[in-house]
Structure 1
Amino acid sequence: MITSKPIARWGWAREEEPADPIDACARAQMFLLGSLREKKMAVGESRLNFSVMERGSSNSSLFDEHFPIDLAGDLDAQRHRITEEVRGRLRPGMVGMIDTSMYCAGYRMTPMGAKLDDQMFYLGAIVASGYVAVYLQTYSDAWLSHDLRGRKQDDIYALNHQRLTDVLNSVALEMGDETDPDGPTYYAIPTATGADVHLEADGTVSDMWQEGHFIEE
């Protein structure tokens, strides 16, 4: 199932004052994207939002545009092209917080083969004074032991959970930071290795279907 609201979110951050913050943000974004692509959890085409704020101002933007991303192409070459264009088109001012973000489709593995989830993840990177951070949120229940109707899905879980865990571990290693799961959502409880389902008082798995917001089953 794919929801219109996040099922789970994870984040990582490290202390850093990069000499080239625009490139640092793009590199962090592309590493996370590449980690997903390696597991076929980022495929097709997407659009990357690239925002550069003016230092000392919360509502003054030096740059805010979208770039097409070909997930079958060379991510490093695309990063270089994008950062060059951003630098060349920055409005005058001191560079402050930089933010990149995008949605991506990905494959859910099933016993009958791969199924495309159109909005599997939303991911982003942030560079601000003294730190670099990345985050990942999912709209798919492929990583849960039960689907969002409370039905056990052993085969789906076995085929997909470790894929997500591998991505989380890869990003943690790259960032030099432990995976930081966000707080519980309506749908699930994020953990350092994936996400757990909600349980009722009697121990049964909650059925989140009735009040949830779903795009597709």
Structure 2
Amino acid sequence: MITSEDPVGDWTWEITQNKKTESPPLRAVETAAAVWSILLQHELAAPTANGFLSVRSMPNTAPPLVEVNGLALKFAALKSETALSQAVAEAERALPQDRALVSFRLQCPGFWSASGAKFRAEKMFIVQVDAWARGFALVTLETYSDAWLTVDTRDREQLQTRAENSPRLAAALKAISALLGSTPTPGDSNRYATPTETGFEDVRDEGPAYDDSWGTFEIPARSRRLRSSLPPSEEEYSETTDHPVRYFTVQHEGRVLGYLWASADDEAAGYEPRTAAGDSAFEAGKEWLLRLREAHLQGLTALVALSWLARLPRTALSEIVDTVPTPASSLDALEDMSGRT
């Protein structure tokens, strides 16, 4: 199973409610919470999530009237969550007299299983509800896991993994449809898979749209995200190598965030975020990339730089836990591990 930064698939439900007097912000939050509850019941989601709430005046061309990000939510305390209540109240006060769009988004960690063992990904699902004042709403569910596919996003058959996970997804989609009183519109086919009303088509029928779609698209996208907020610099080791590599595991409070690596035979080094660890993996990686730049500025070779980094104090967000670097047969193998675990 591989976790992706882009959705593997999505489903959308259209709902119309004759509740013109009901608060659109409250309706958006309650609907998203009800979908979250179904994911919890089917052991697909964790009882914690990050919430985002916004209000926009229509047509959607101006900056948002309200935008509240990073709401750390617990399902058990959702009704008494002060920060969420304050955000809903702020959204209600900001509602314009004309048409308005209220959007509430939940980023949900979730679980998948393999050989009976359960694993966690920090961005397994996103639930978004877009609510208009007249009662119309769109509910969208996105998944960022390929655990439901017969072939993973690196073109490897995974029938057992699918058998363990896809029935729970199908049951959840059915329950969400019953809750909302409508059938879902599956998202378009993408580079990973083709969604259906009950899950996904069998990738083996026609073959994947791209060979190794995860490696082709995900790896460059992760690199762009890692470096997007760093200042430009010429003090860089090469990001790629065809040689074997050695790596240190980067952790925070026992959770693996990524892998700091260097080539065994040329001047390449970098950091591979563990995608399933979510945003924390990327934030930690930026600090290590800055330290790699410092090593390059000092003229250290890639392997010497790797050892030098291991002797430095931990960063604000993570630390190297190994004393000796681990060998990997290739950078591709390390990238693969960063997506699968």
Change (3 A) 1:176 1:111: same
Q: Map 1:45-60; keep pairs closer than 5 Å.
A: 45-55=48-58, 58-60=61-63
Aligned length: 213
Equivalents in 1 of 2:139, 2:95: separation in Å?
27
- Larger fraction in strand: 1
Structure number with greater Rg is 2
Match of residue 5 from structure 2: 4
Is the CA contact (8 Å cut-off) linking 1:30 and 1:76 kept in structure 2?
no
Match of residue 154 from structure 1: 159
Match of residue 107 from structure 2: 103
Equivalents in 2 of 1:93, 1:179: separation in Å?
30
Structure 1 residue 158: deviation in Å?
1.1
Is the CA contact (8 Å cut-off) linking 1:29 and 1:125 kept in structure 2?
yes
Equivalents in 1 of 2:90, 2:116: separation in Å?
48
Equivalents in 1 of 2:145, 2:119: separation in Å?
12
Q: CA RMSD in A?
A: 2.4
Match of residue 316 from structure 2: none
Is the CA contact (8 Å cut-off) linking 2:28 and 2:131 kept in structure 1?
yes
Change (3 A) 1:146 1:81: same
| Structure with bigger RCO (C-alpha 8 Å, 6+ apart) | 1
Q: Which of 171, 177, 186 is the equivalent residue of 1:172?
A: 177
Equivalents in 2 of 1:11, 1:112: separation in Å?
31
Match of residue 192 from structure 2: 187
Match of residue 73 from structure 2: 69
Structure 1 residue 31: deviation in Å?
0.8
- Larger fraction in helix: 2
Equivalents in 2 of 1:196, 1:207: separation in Å?
18
Offset from partner CA, 1:27-57 (integer Å, 9 cap, x none): 1110111111122222153321011123556
Q: Which moved more, 1:34-43 or 1:154-163?
A: 34-43
**TM-score of the two chains, using structure 1 as the length reference:** 0.86
Change (3 A) 1:204 1:48: closer
Equivalents in 1 of 2:51, 2:115: separation in Å?
32
Structure 1 residue 112: deviation in Å?
4.2
Equivalents in 1 of 2:178, 2:49: separation in Å?
26
Q: Which of 40, 43, 49 is the equivalent residue of 2:43?
A: 40
Equivalents in 2 of 1:28, 1:68: separation in Å?
18
Equivalents in 2 of 1:164, 1:143: separation in Å?
8
SS in structure 2 of the partner of residue 2 of structure 1: coil
SS in structure 1 of the partner of residue 213 of structure 2: coil
Is the CA contact (8 Å cut-off) linking 1:187 and 1:197 kept in structure 2?
no
Is the CA contact (8 Å cut-off) linking 1:41 and 1:106 kept in structure 2?
yes
Equivalents in 2 of 1:57, 1:208: separation in Å?
33
Equivalents in 1 of 2:115, 2:178: separation in Å?
31
Q: Map 1:194-205; keep pairs closer than 5 Å.
A: 194-198=199-203, 203-204=206-207
Change (3 A) 1:96 1:143: same
Q: Which moved more, 1:54-63 or 1:176-185?
A: 54-63
Match of residue 87 from structure 1: 89
Offset from partner CA, 1:95-145 (integer Å, 9 cap, x none): 611101121111111114101112111111011144122101111001111
Is the CA contact (8 Å cut-off) linking 2:150 and 2:162 kept in structure 1?
yes
Structure 2's unaligned 5+ residue stretches are 220-274, 276-338
Structure 1 residue 155: deviation in Å?
1.6
Q: Which moved more, 1:36-45 or 1:140-149?
A: 36-45
Change (3 A) 1:92 1:12: closer
Task: Determine what percentage of the aligned residue pairs are the same residue.
Answer: 21
Equivalents in 2 of 1:46, 1:204: separation in Å?
35
Equivalents in 1 of 2:64, 2:200: separation in Å?
35
Q: State the AA in 1 paired with 2:77.
A: D
Equivalents in 1 of 2:179, 2:62: separation in Å?
31
Structure 1 residue 177: deviation in Å?
0.7
Change (3 A) 1:162 1:75: farther
Equivalents in 2 of 1:163, 1:93: separation in Å?
41
Structure 1 residue 184: deviation in Å?
0.5
Q: Which moved more, 1:133-142 or 1:87-96?
A: 87-96
